[in-house]
Structure 1
């Protein structure tokens, strides 16, 4: 019996895996909150005998070291990865037995990192018989329709790693049968992917990737040139993930944080700390603590909060329920935001001091923006602020809009021209975050909570960007 269980980390755009047989299993690239991997093993009735890392991750804190400690499993890490803890060093071609008839073989696939290693699961029908590959865990090497980006380690190595990435995916395609399932860690919304990959669902094989993946369809020079030209900005918190994983992450503490009352919330805001409201953007716009910031729970909370918040700044969480708070706390530990400074549950009525009123701002559609521009209603000039990434804007933008990507807005708010700010992104989530930042800074703001295709339908002039429309990204 061979099984593979997928552990989805949708907020980070990653997947971890538990694979094995009747008695024992291997955990691949486990998240920091290892209890869910342990629970998956318990449901299967198997013991975790091995924990493996495809590479030292740059986008999340690994739970590998802790999972190996609590389960007694061998911890396999690529030999070339420099770490500060004891582990089993893995070299190209090394094999370990997972369960009867199941073997895990290491396959060096540098590119995403210099030491990146994929793992092929091989099965034999009877002892000592020939094996056949039944799956390959490709980490950040071969993804679904893409590859892992090569620019997360060191700028001077980027082109070299891009060429290594091309060679690695071709090695996988050459050495493995077309029907071999490909199981990547990154790529389901992760910024570790070189191109967009569907956020949920999706399955692929070596054969499918040969037909669709540009890395397998293009020569090395063309692939490298296109890959390097398309690389987007790197989330700021990535700089802290690799070192944390190399040092050896501490166990997580998911006990509830200290409860903050209205006075403490106000004091923390006055001290310049971040107070983060996890409620929906609709609820936040209707009423919130003045100065608080809106990062919706259930979206890419960890990615965007960790990207924007100055690293190490205390964060207080405001949630509508204990369940929402617990889920957010769990997600944030995966990117090294270990303990909220404080938290409160309920709503603005209990978070605001007596005698104070909630803050609020308007939400609108692109049709309303078009009408506002046409009628020129009273209220002074308006500013249309586009907070999408540069690659998105390059495909088209609202004529005359100012462009400041969300991940740079906190330090560039002074660059937003005077006037009422109508802020938009591609769908509304990032616009809501940006609107909360502007609102906290005392600006008059309207959050455009609408899909960008509606800008065309609303009659707003949209054309390809050629560097105009406000401050450069």
Structure 2
């Protein structure tokens, strides 16, 4: 028997290959999906079923592509928003054999209306579930968000509560196989580890400590979550079936002269924040490779053309992978060599960085033409904020930059300076010339105040 977790960095997406008796199933595959077929073949397994826990909002499903490659049947839950054209509908108590293993369907709405969990049983020991694929209903240390139906927020929070009771009824021995780990935009309270049991979660998961249904609903509707614009694109593609991932997961490399001639919507610099701040092409925005999954969907729209700027070829390839997984992959080319370009006299822009002492000095002054702009999320801001600072979440600058005065000085801050660099790069690309970054940001402020 085989149960293998396949993790997608950046998205913190977890998918699974389950096999027994020469057959295999895939749960929640990602768009670049050859990995599932390769692993199944290496284990001597034929993929016969593909199970989707729900219509994902944060990545493109690879289910239609895996089905095309293998002839496997795709199973998806009852969907109130329309038919998932590439899938058959699975319902409560449906049971599917994968060799000696059985996958039993639980309807678990709440995170989404179509959400399913899949309980895994060994037919040789059928009394208790071995594990359960919980999708986005239950994570290690957290439970799913319920903000996708704002007009029905109490109802869907209550439905998630009921679904969690159904999952917990499988027994404390069942291993939890969630669809995301820590770092995902689908939950902020996930534990760093990716292994647990229902018994451990029952004892330690903060949301499962709330035994009263009404109290659980209140807690869920008070949560703060952000929905990048690309979520709508993911939802649509995961109804229609998105195009397969490109066969070559690397942009074509362009020379400096070619880069100058590219007529693209965005030049995206994927280098580290310090490198971007030190020198970047005019008009470029900063999206470090590790932050593409979280923030590209705020600043890049469907179909927008992109040129990538990186430190090396591996960085270009990693950036392309992240973009492909969220279908923002209209990449015209990739360029490596900012420092040699500067040596050739290519014009560059830089964004200054300032320290805690300078921030404190400016706060003590009148500040009539200066704003300390905090771009952290609302929960971070509520837990600790610097007096006199203002707040706009980094993603919301995609539109709210237009509210700001280009003649004013802005210092961007977050928790460490990473998101502040993304925000500063965005404002810089929009013609804000009096922008700098608080290096260390809230972490440095707290350290300096000890």
Correspondent of 1:387 among 354, 375, 381: 375
Match of 1:103 in 2: 102
Compared CA separation, residues 211 and 451, structure 1 to 2 (3 A) = farther
| Deviation of the 1:288 alpha carbon | 1.0
| SS of the residue 2:331 aligns to | coil
| Deviation of the 1:131 alpha carbon | 4.3
1:103-152: per-residue Cα shift (whole Å, max 9, x none)? 11111111111121100110133xxx634311100001111222111222
| Deviation of the 1:321 alpha carbon | 1.9
Correspondent of 2:185 among 191, 207, 218: 191
CA distance in 2, matches of 1:324, 1:457: 32
CA distance in 2, matches of 1:86, 1:450: 47
Match of 1:85 in 2: 85
Match of 1:456 in 2: 446
| SS of the residue 2:92 aligns to | coil
CA distance in 2, matches of 1:163, 1:187: 24
CA distance in 2, matches of 1:437, 1:79: 40
Q: In the alignment, is residue 136 of structure 1 matched against residue 125 of structure 2? A: no
Q: In the alignment, is residue 170 of structure 1 matched against residue 168 of structure 2? A: no
Q: In the alignment, is residue 444 of structure 1 matched against residue 437 of structure 2? A: no
TM-score by length of 2: 0.91
Q: In the alignment, is residue 362 of structure 1 matched against residue 362 of structure 2? A: no
Compared CA separation, residues 45 and 329, structure 1 to 2 (3 A) = same
CA distance in 1, matches of 2:268, 2:368: 31
| SS of the residue 2:423 aligns to | helix
Q: In the alignment, is residue 216 of structure 1 matched against residue 208 of structure 2? A: yes
Match of 1:275 in 2: 267
Match of 2:176 in 1: 182
CA distance in 2, matches of 1:114, 1:212: 27
CA distance in 2, matches of 1:347, 1:354: 10
CA RMSD across the alignment: 2.5
Compared CA separation, residues 37 and 130, structure 1 to 2 (3 A) = closer
Correspondent of 1:328 among 319, 328, 334: 319
Match of 1:204 in 2: 196
Residue pair 2:269, 2:310 contacting (<8 A) in 1 also: yes
CA distance in 1, matches of 2:427, 2:329: 27
Compared CA separation, residues 368 and 6, structure 1 to 2 (3 A) = farther
| Deviation of the 1:272 alpha carbon | 7.1
1:235-257: per-residue Cα shift (whole Å, max 9, x none)? 22101111111001111114344
Matches within 5 A, 1:28-67: 28-67=27-66
Residue segments in structure 2 that go unaligned for 5+ positions in a row: none
Compared CA separation, residues 353 and 456, structure 1 to 2 (3 A) = closer
CA distance in 2, matches of 1:109, 1:235: 25
Residue pair 2:181, 2:194 contacting (<8 A) in 1 also: no
CA distance in 1, matches of 2:278, 2:127: 61
CA distance in 1, matches of 2:374, 2:75: 45
1:237-289: per-residue Cα shift (whole Å, max 9, x none)? 10111111100111111434444443554455xx6721001111111111110
CA distance in 2, matches of 1:365, 1:21: 58
CA distance in 2, matches of 1:363, 1:21: 56
CA distance in 2, matches of 1:120, 1:451: 45
Correspondent of 1:422 among 408, 411, 434: 411
Compared CA separation, residues 367 and 131, structure 1 to 2 (3 A) = farther
Match of 2:23 in 1: 24
| SS of the residue 2:3 aligns to | strand
| SS of the residue 1:391 aligns to | helix
Q: In the alignment, is residue 262 of structure 1 matched against residue 241 of structure 2? A: no
CA distance in 1, matches of 2:287, 2:218: 36
Q: In the alignment, is residue 243 of structure 1 matched against residue 233 of structure 2? A: no
Residue segments in structure 1 that go unaligned for 5+ positions in a row: 461-473
Q: In the alignment, is residue 317 of structure 1 matched against residue 317 of structure 2? A: no
